[in-house]
Chain A
């Protein structure tokens, strides 16, 4: 039994575990205290001070998020003194703020705005001290507007604690204090991975994604363009929230209908190329294992997954010496792009120069990825525009679509079919699970030895997960793997990736295959997903992903009929000549500064 602390909040008795804060205790008593700098993913800052409460017998107010609950405390959360103090603080925040809500990207989904609405501060209470800031639009993924920053440091803590990147830091003191980058360099110049976690953790419009909504409308309205779209696995479980529905449901069918209504000429599914990735990446892994074990060659093992572009930029900056360990597979987004402009274009008789590929992603790093110089293997820009789940939600609203009442539709052939294995790419551990389902079966001819194909050790929100699978009863061509204990690891959130990468760098990694997703929880909580984000929401979205997997007939990538067909008609075989040309890539060593 944990030690308990008893206290009273607004005369309600509550008992909380020792170490809990007053804020936690209030929550338990069903009392909401406004917060800004607090975020349950992050360490306590206690700097915005809006969460102040009164303690009986104490003159100074307490920041409830940062003050431990103590035995016999009597706390009041709604006295005149408390309300006046909060009003003062909100008034102060607004006095240094660019209060341009009507033109703001976060209008309607802004924590500062909603607090201002609740507390009604007179506009002339304080004098505007808003400074002139230059908006940083240098990054292809993220816009940083200091005039909307409340200095809560959620972004700084996110980038440091969750991502271990430290691209953002506090600079200056006093009135000059602000959030900046290393040496005040533009965002596209620093070690930022474009993961967008700072965006999903920013309470205001100071950090937002760079949006390409108008560009997408323009091509949709251009009759000379054949515009195809792909949606990532995690989009369907976040989209509901983006259009005002509750978290925890997958909306694949309605999503496809909405896309058709928006005017896309063909609706494809990144799940398809996720399945394809498994065949390419799985074959790559088996080849490396074969070279190592049977041919005694010096090959880079473990193999890291490569589908998370935030992770790719991270390893390029932080561990440039171990890029050989990355799978050479492009991410599913960047596989589908060139296939659309070659395989699909040819089958439809469309000139790829008249084609536009739009991706809808739960991710801001995918915007950066699409702009990488390697991503022109179709002869054109493989993916033209990347928009997030949030931008997609906005387009649905602009188009006046009543999403909830839509009927289901199916994706278009020949890049639209998918299996459950492709779907679970959206959650941490999903790529690993999908790969194991296929690889184990290729090697042994039998299903992966987990009930209902659920590789549970790699599921869930644990920061680093491990599994060991003993391979027995191999087919003849894989005999070298007989009795090998395949060791795998899964990490999500770049701070969890670092120790695994460091092990590889030091030659001490015990693993064969490592999945890394840049965002905590995986793509379901990617930097392009709806806000807010917290572990409760992560769990709901993850559940929706696994439910979708379970509901499908086909749950192994190698059973995807369109994947089989593309190998027969076009690619020939995994790691074949065409695959190399279109589906594999190279990486770039980058510096830290």
Chain B
């Protein structure tokens, strides 16, 4: 067995799509100087050219947010680093914070320069509070450095509230403002009215690091990787039924077949791409499915399921998670999640007919188009993908 794992790791690490950008050593001082020298428009252009899209899950083109916030008229603007990392099965941001915090800070600085912000806030997942001391030391050094260079930008840490929904950008803003974590109506988008009503750019930890690397080495180093619609690389958190769970930076555009061969075993029955709010892809679709925005997008979570797993239990777990983690304000999500959970339980218990699953599928689709925020809108991703691919397991 031991040998087997070593061999597997070797195979993964020598794979042609395996890259090392994020965790590589970089000259941070040079990076800061480079940002300092680059004009705001040029920062945005470079990021636009790189094709960088958000790594927090939604995959929104990063430059558009920057441009929006840059054009928003306000003396006060903010940069927020979303380090709430609440998606089940994701743990890559923690690793980046522990090992490469300076690059995150440099990325925040680049965003600050691009939009004209003087304050940056890292919204840190409550469970990561043990990282605060170490991170704060690095921030102090960084803040001091910028002060010495007469660049007016200061970073603070804010400890999160411990709710999954607070990773959603507008709930995060509410939480930052000391309110209950509840999604806001959009528009206005944070780039127009964010923290304390001021233009705010919110980016995932990983997005910020890539932005920093693009500043240092130019767009080319990034856009030469990946596919047409999914440029660059991505850090994946691999978990579930695999011998080699962990964090891997891989070029975008790998098929799930390649992925399962590397990380799974011959019994991999499905991969849940993108955590609880992502999609479940069955083995039969591994070959045609690309990991990326043209296929199945992911904020990083890749969970492998072997054929010993009950898909009913998996779906049940996810639904329990949503029932609890919905902020509860909007009807489709608060009640819809409970109905989906109750619904599959009732079918299992034969209190409802098998046909009731169709009513639940309709409900899930409705939640997608009526829920107020990304949480409620994405419950249908796991629900529909699991039910449609493993219907028998759910209804019998």
Choose one: B185, B342, B370; the contact of A85 (CB below 8 Å): B370
Inter-chain contact A44/B185, CB cutoff 8 Å: yes
Inter-chain contact B335/A129, CB cutoff 8 Å: yes
Give a binary string over B333-344; 1 marks a CB under 8 Å from any A CB, 0 the rest.
Answer: 011111100110
Expressed in whole angstroms, the Cα–Cα distance for A49 and B323 within the complex equals: 18
Q: Which of A107-133 contact B (CB under 8 A)?
A: 125-127, 129
Inter-chain contact A59/B369, CB cutoff 8 Å: yes
Majority DSSP secondary structure for residues of B touching A: helix
Choose one: A59, A60, A63, A151; the contact of B328 (CB below 8 Å): A151
Give a binary string over A79-101; 1 marks a CB under 8 Å from any B CB, 0 the rest.
Answer: 00100110011001101100000
Verify if B331 is at the interface (C-beta below 8 Å from A): yes
Choose one: B187, B337, B368, B377; the contact of A174 (CB below 8 Å): B337
Choose one: A45, A59, A92; the contact of B336 (CB below 8 Å): A92
Verify if B180 is at the interface (C-beta below 8 Å from A): yes
Expressed in whole angstroms, the Cα–Cα distance for A52 and B180 within the complex equals: 25
Verify if B332 is at the interface (C-beta below 8 Å from A): yes
Inter-chain contact A47/B372, CB cutoff 8 Å: yes
Residues of B within 8 A of A48 (CB): 330-331
Give a binary string over B252-269; 1 marks a CB under 8 Å from any A CB, 0 the rest.
Answer: 000000000000000000
Most chain B beta carbons < 10 A, residue from A60, A84, A88 = A88
Expressed in whole angstroms, the Cα–Cα distance for A126 and B377 within the complex equals: 19
Inter-chain contact A89/B327, CB cutoff 8 Å: no
Q: How many residues on A have C-beta within 8 angstroms of the other chain's C-beta atoms?
A: 38
Choose one: B339, B362, B371; the contact of A127 (CB below 8 Å): B339
Expressed in whole angstroms, the Cα–Cα distance for A68 and B188 within the complex equals: 9
Q: Which of B189-229 contact A (CB under 8 A)?
A: none
Residues of A within 8 A of B369 (CB): 52, 59-61, 81, 85
Residues of B within 8 A of A63 (CB): 185, 372
Expressed in whole angstroms, the Cα–Cα distance for A589 and B346 within the complex equals: 55
Majority DSSP secondary structure for residues of A touching B: loop
Give a binary string over A30-54; 1 marks a CB under 8 Å from any B CB, 0 the rest.
Answer: 0000000000000011111110100
Residues of A within 8 A of B335 (CB): 92-93, 95-96, 126, 129
Inter-chain contact A175/B346, CB cutoff 8 Å: no
**Assuming A92-B339, A151-B329, A174-B323, is B185 touching A60 (CB within 8 A)?**
no
- Shortest beta-carbon distance from A64 to chain B in Å: 11
- Our count of residue pairs bridging A and B at CB distance below 8 angstroms stands at 116
Verify if A569 is at the interface (C-beta below 8 Å from B): no
**Assuming A46-B372, A85-B369, A170-B180, is B325 touching A125 (CB within 8 A)?**
no
Expressed in whole angstroms, the Cα–Cα distance for A50 and B330 within the complex equals: 10
Residues of A within 8 A of B143 (CB): none
Inter-chain contact A173/B359, CB cutoff 8 Å: no
Residues of A within 8 A of B182 (CB): 170
Q: Which of A161-209 contact B (CB under 8 A)?
A: 170, 172-177
Choose one: A89, A96, A170, A177; the contact of B370 (CB below 8 Å): A89
Verify if B326 is at the interface (C-beta below 8 Å from A): yes
Inter-chain contact B334/A175, CB cutoff 8 Å: yes
Expressed in whole angstroms, the Cα–Cα distance for A46 and B188 within the complex equals: 13
Inter-chain contact A173/B325, CB cutoff 8 Å: yes
**Assuming A174-B323, A174-B326, is B334 touching A151 (CB within 8 A)?**
yes
**Assuming A46-B185, A46-B372, A49-B370, is B339 touching A172 (CB within 8 A)?**
no
Inter-chain contact B370/A174, CB cutoff 8 Å: no
Inter-chain contact A174/B325, CB cutoff 8 Å: yes
Query: What are the 10 A-B residue pairs with the smallest beta carbon separation, nearest first?
Result: A177-B328, A92-B335, A66-B185, A46-B185, A47-B329, A88-B366, A174-B326, A174-B324, A60-B369, A47-B330
Besides A48-B331, A84-B362, A95-B335, 13 more A-B contacts (Cβ < 8 Å) are A47-B330, A49-B331, A52-B369, A63-B372, A84-B366, A85-B370, A88-B362, A92-B336, A95-B339, A96-B338, A127-B343, A129-B342, A173-B328
23 contacts between A and B (CB under 8 A): A46-B185, A52-B369, A60-B368, A84-B366, A85-B366, A88-B363, A88-B366, A92-B331, A92-B336, A92-B363, A95-B339, A126-B343, A129-B335, A151-B329, A151-B334, A153-B329, A170-B180, A170-B182, A173-B328, A174-B334, A174-B337, A177-B328, A177-B334
